[in-house]
Structure 1
Amino acid sequence: KPAFSEGAVISSKTGKAISFEELIDELSKVRVIFIGEKHTLAAHHEVQLAIIKRMYLKDPDLLVGMEMFDRSYQGILEQWRCGKLEQKDFLQKTHWYANWKYDFALYSDILDYIKRNHIRLIGLNIPFHIPPKIAVGGIDALLPEEKRYLPKQIDTSNASHRAYVQQVFSEHRMRGRQDFEHFYQAQCVWEEIMAETIAENLGGHRMIVLAGNGHIIHKFGIPDRVVRRKKNEIRTIYLLPAGTEAELSIADYIWVTSSR
């Protein structure tokens, strides 16, 4: 596990640092680019925006998919991208603080850039109240009108993904979540719907996907589920706060960021 300094971008294929230009060149060859994040780190959102800006200059038809919005808000995301909403109304209409809850200031530069350039923005998520409900009572606990949000395919067969989620589960034992099977079902539903939304919206475009590091690590969360649906070339970029250790194999690229 070689230690790289802040700002380094490491290609996991070679284990060596590459320049930003080399990264952009490599990303230009693929259709779906996943950029992870630790939600609360401003540095991670700065990196995401830097990549979006460069990729948009190369490809003005770029799409941006975000975990932070669920699919039912797509009409509002369209209004935002067309410049029809002020920030205050956007926050209200997307129920940002009820759903995503993180400080909007962390994401505002990205969303302002999307609005200024009319970049098509896709909400990837399932309505936020559904996964916790599945985690407690399984899919059968859902009402018929909630079930219509479920993905068409739900694969729960990946052993390494299960082991990863099991570790997360045991570290964060939540009240009322005694049952790992239900918790795992919820995780898979969550990631399958995001993969399905990406696949359905891709068309002939390129998409940058912003999602938590946990959804892109080892590709078994969202990325592999996209590839299962669309045989497109994808790349993952894991954003790693300086001073943290990680295996090279967690993503195609590891970008070492400031830890603030």
Structure 2
Amino acid sequence: MLRLSPALRALWLLPMAGVSGASLAATDGDQCAHPGQWWQGGQALAASTLFEQAAEQDVVLLGEFHDRMSHHRWQLHTLAGLAAHRDDMAIGLEMLPREAQPALDAWVAGELSEAQFLQQSQWHEAWGFDPALYLPILHFARMQQIPLLALNIKPALRRQLATEGFDAVSAEQRFNIDEPAPASDAYRQRLEQSFQMHPTSMGNKSQGNENQGDNAAFETFLNAQLIWDAAMADALASAVDDDTLVVGLMGVGHLAYGDGVPYQLEAMGIADTLALMPTTLEACEPPDGQLADVLYLLGDEQAAETPPPRLGVQIAPSEDGVSIVAIKEESLAYKAGLQPDDIVTQAAGQEVRAPGELSAIVQQQAPGTLLPMEILRDGNLQEILVRFPPAEPLR
């Protein structure tokens, strides 16, 4: 799975040789892992060793929780370190489907403004998270002239492949993606647990699983997840050559415990990969060494982050606008009086025809303001005001 540098081989031999690794492992006076450390194999790892090791790989994967700004800051810092060790690098993005590649190329070339890029890439339609989380990374790539790669495929194609099979879709239509390697037993078990917890969630529905968690619905969900992993692995593998380090940014679920994308890459013959992931520890405990090849320990930065504005709804496309599928209790939408099956036709005076358009408006809403929404309920148009809470006072 990993290609080890001589320095790293020596590092792993230190305990067996009885040599102290004081600079890399906790000392007698400091037995706790702490923020700012890289960890591998149960001990702290020097940043210089980590980047030396990572620079020798074909593919490096950087996991994320999509809505955590601290995770994206860590990704940016890590990308900068990798770029300092490799002149030729490419960055792959789970966030966008293959159709967005021309927009990514134009962005790196400096031909698009932020607004033009978001429009031409159809960011809000493809990805439900605030682009502000990713813009620093996008600007870094443009500043350094690092190619950006669209790794994903659209949900409709993923659903078609999962339900109809690969023979039903031409190679060109599926971007020459082949059938994925079967899931490991452990990956299958983790996905089944997730599916059983949320059998009717939008995540399952978006994969084409409308059933209530029965076996057939789970198999479709599993196939869709494997296709998702394989599509991203295929794009990464296609970009690998002797002179390019390919770095993929994706959710932690696609790389945890060596499954997902690393597993599919290995099946494609790409074995020199390294999966990195940020994590936050509770109390004085070492991190889970099986979670990723290398972990980076974050402090409790989430408490210092301003949470993004959220309505607290699950939404879906509708012929007349955006349909409200479900509402979280005590959410802003709940308090405003929105109901399941409402159809949002306008928000902030703008027509909304796709979930991404509504998400974009919500993400731009300032604290302490009202968001007027026009909804269609039982055939009648109504206006609802959503109250966004004021910002936390400075202390």
Instruction: Give the TM-score of the pair, scaled to structure 2.
Output: 0.60
Match of 1:174 in 2: 200
| Counterpart Cα distance in 2 of 1:164 and 1:34 | 20
Aligned to 1:128: 155
The question of whether the paired residues in 2 share the 8 Å contact of 1:30 and 1:234 is answered with: yes
Match of 1:196 among 212, 221, 234: 234
CA contact (8 A) 1:130 1:146 kept: no
| Contact 1:70–1:128, Cα closer than 8 Å, also in 2 | no
Match of 1:41 in 2: 68
Alignment equivalent of 1:72, drawn from 89, 96, 99: 99
Which 4+ runs in 1 deviate beyond 4 A? 132-135, 140-147
Q: Distance in 2 between matches of 1:232 and 1:182?
A: 28
For residues 155 and 174 of structure 1, the distance between their equivalents in structure 2, rounded to whole angstroms, comes to: 26
Determine the structure 2 residue equivalent to 1:149.
174
Distance 1:196 1:168 in 2: 25
Counterpart amino acid of 1:61?
D
Letter in 2 for 1:86: S
Identity of aligned residues (%): 24
* Contact kept? 1:35, 1:238, Cα under 8 Å: yes
Is residue 235 of structure 1 aligned with residue 274 of structure 2? yes
Other-structure match for 1:209: 248
How much has 1:59 moved relative to structure 2? Answer: 1.4
Q: Which residue of 1 aligns with 2:316?
A: none
Aligned-residue offset at 1:257: 1.6
**TM-score, with length taken from structure 1:** 0.89
**Partners in 2 of 1:101 and 1:146 — Cα distance?**
28
Gapped regions of structure 2 (runs ≥ 5)? 1-30, 202-209, 303-395
Residue 49 (structure 2) aligns with: 22
User: Structure with the greater relative contact order (CA < 8 A, sep ≥ 6): 1 or 2?
Assistant: 1
- Larger proportion of helix: 1
Aligned to 1:24, the other structure's residue is in SS state helix
Structure that is richer in strand per residue: 2
Task: Check 1:145–1:73 CA distance in 2 against 1; reply closer, same or farther (3 A cut).
Answer: farther
**Aligned twin of 1:249:** 290
Range with bigger deviation, 234-243 or 60-69: 234-243
Following superposition, the deviation at residue 139 of structure 1 comes to 3.0
What letter matches 1:216 in structure 2? Answer: L
Alignment of 1:54-69 (within 5 A): 54-69=81-96
Q: Deviations over 1:109-141 (max 9, x none)?
A: 100000111101111001133335667xx2359
2:228 corresponds to 1:223 = no
Match of 1:82 in 2: 109
Give the AA of the match of 2:194: V
Letter aligned with residue 100 of structure 1: W
- Number of residue pairs matched by the alignment: 255
Distance change (3 Å), C-alpha of 1:157 and 1:103:
closer
